[in-house]
Homo-oligomer: A and B are copies of this chain.
Amino acid sequence: MKLETKVTKLFNIELPIIQAGMVWVSGWELAAATSNNGGLGLIGAGSMKPEILREHISKCKAATAKPFGVNLPLLRGDAEELAQVILEENVPVVFTSAGHPGKFIERFKSKGMIVVHVVSSVKHALKAESVGCDAVVGEGFEAGGHNGPDEITTFALIPQIVDAVKIPVIAAGGIADGRGIVAALALGAEGVQIGTRFAATIESSAHENYKNEIVKAKDNSTTIILRRAGFARTLKNEFSELAIQQELKAPDDVKTLIKLSDKKERLGIFEGDAKNGMLEAGQGAGLINEVISVEELFVKFKKEIEEAFERLNGFRND
């Protein structure tokens, strides 16, 4: 089973499936396993110091001969140092997010890197295109982690971005199986970026407790928190309730909200405190019922994609 799209050609990969760069989840093991199975693995620099990122890039290079990338959140205080590591290590692909897409693009492009920016509205997609990004990820409101305040869902967002830009569009948010992959392609996307489903794989560096919470999640197990201090989708737990109560009490006190969430991603995702940590996850969590290896996941995706194509073509009787 193969799918050839503008995105598979852009990255020289077999399937248009990108594993999202997620804090405390996407180390070299997950990224290399994804790339080795025909997708594009991304190392999540958002939770790494520059030298840790360098180590992950080196290990990823040793573990796969296939293309891989790094996700770089542009608003981080040490974004410059992280970008420097990416440049020095000649990483073939960079996904940037949370910040101005033009920040490092000339330097990345001068090294021949492919640069993709993550957006949550048509306006930001046009901006990413205008500064020279090779593709754009359109991330819907259902996506886990940090998210766009316009609350535009994958279903509504993707075709509107596709109509607005000429560069390939990658869909993210709510996609956890082959049905979602084919649906995203039907909406006009040339590929998908999947987060939460990869967070609950064996190769994910997240804590077992966090993976188990994803497996237990139902359709209504996530919520938006910190609307004015980061805007993130997480699993509901004691921490999310605390954050929501604090927001109701003092919505304008952004400082307290930021302090409240400090180091809570690490506490929840990496250290496994399922009660007091910030368990970032998308609404697709309800579709995830077991922790499996990346290889098993790709076998599953391929089967589900086949089934979705067969089902769709079976509806035609003309």
Report the minimum CB–CB distance from A65 to chain B (whole Å). Answer: 23
Instruction: Tell me if A308 counts as interface (CB < 8 A to partner B).
Output: yes
Tell me if A152 and B283 are in contact (CB < 8 A).
yes
Nearest chain B residue, comparing its CB with the CB of A141: B153
Report the minimum CB–CB distance from A304 to chain B (whole Å). Answer: 10
Set of chain B residues within 8 Å of A283, measured between Cβ atoms = 152-153, 155-157
With A141-B141, A156-B142 as known contacts, state yes or no: A220 contacts B150, CB within 8 Å: yes
Q: Which A120-155 residues have a C-beta within 8 angstroms of B?
A: 121-123, 140-142, 150-155
Instruction: Tell me if A219 counts as interface (CB < 8 A to partner B).
Output: yes
Report the minimum CB–CB distance from A234 to chain B (whole Å). Answer: 13
Q: Which A60-81 residues have a C-beta within 8 angstroms of B?
A: none
Set of chain B residues within 8 Å of A176, measured between Cβ atoms = 159
* Residue in contact with A155 in the complex, picked from B121, B174, B313, CB distance below 8 Å: B174
Set of chain B residues within 8 Å of A177, measured between Cβ atoms = 159
Report the minimum CB–CB distance from A185 to chain B (whole Å). Answer: 6
Instruction: Tell me if A27 counts as interface (CB < 8 A to partner B).
Output: no
Q: How far is the CA of A262 from the CA of B179 in the complex (A)?
A: 41
Tell me if A153 and B179 are in contact (CB < 8 A).
no
With A309-B316, A313-B313 as known contacts, state yes or no: A160 contacts B286, CB within 8 Å: yes
Q: Could you mark each residue 176-192 of chain A with 1 if its beta carbon is under 8 Å from any beta carbon of chain B, else 0?
A: 11011011111110000
Give the segment of A2-10, A39-47, A87-95, A265-273 that binds chain B.
A2-10
Q: Could you mark each residue 282-318 of chain A with 1 if its beta carbon is under 8 Å from any beta carbon of chain B, else 0?
A: 1110110000000000000000000011011101111
Tell me if B185 and A318 are in contact (CB < 8 A).
no
Set of chain B residues within 8 Å of A187, measured between Cβ atoms = 179-180, 183
Instruction: Tell me if A218 counts as interface (CB < 8 A to partner B).
Output: yes
Tell me if B152 and A155 are in contact (CB < 8 A).
no
Q: How far is the CA of A163 from the CA of B5 in the complex (A)?
A: 29
Set of chain B residues within 8 Å of A160, measured between Cβ atoms = 218-219, 286-287
Q: How far is the CA of A151 from the CA of B188 in the complex (A)?
A: 24
Q: Which A211-249 residues have a C-beta within 8 angstroms of B?
A: 218-220, 224, 248
Tell me if B152 and A220 are in contact (CB < 8 A).
yes
Nearest chain B residue, comparing its CB with the CB of A148: B220
Q: How far is the CA of A174 from the CA of B220 in the complex (A)?
A: 19
Set of chain B residues within 8 Å of A122, measured between Cβ atoms = 218-220, 286
Report the minimum CB–CB distance from A118 to chain B (whole Å). Answer: 16
Q: How far is the CA of A287 from the CA of B155 in the complex (A)?
A: 11
Set of chain B residues within 8 Å of A154, measured between Cβ atoms = 153, 155
Report which A residues bind B (CB closer than 8 A): 1-5, 16, 121-123, 140-142, 150-157, 159-160, 163, 173-177, 179-180, 182-188, 218-220, 224, 248, 251, 282-284, 286-287, 308-309, 311-313, 315-318
Pull 11 A–B residue pairs with CB atoms less than 8 Å apart, ordered by A: A4-B316, A122-B220, A150-B220, A153-B174, A155-B284, A156-B219, A159-B180, A160-B218, A163-B287, A180-B187, A183-B183
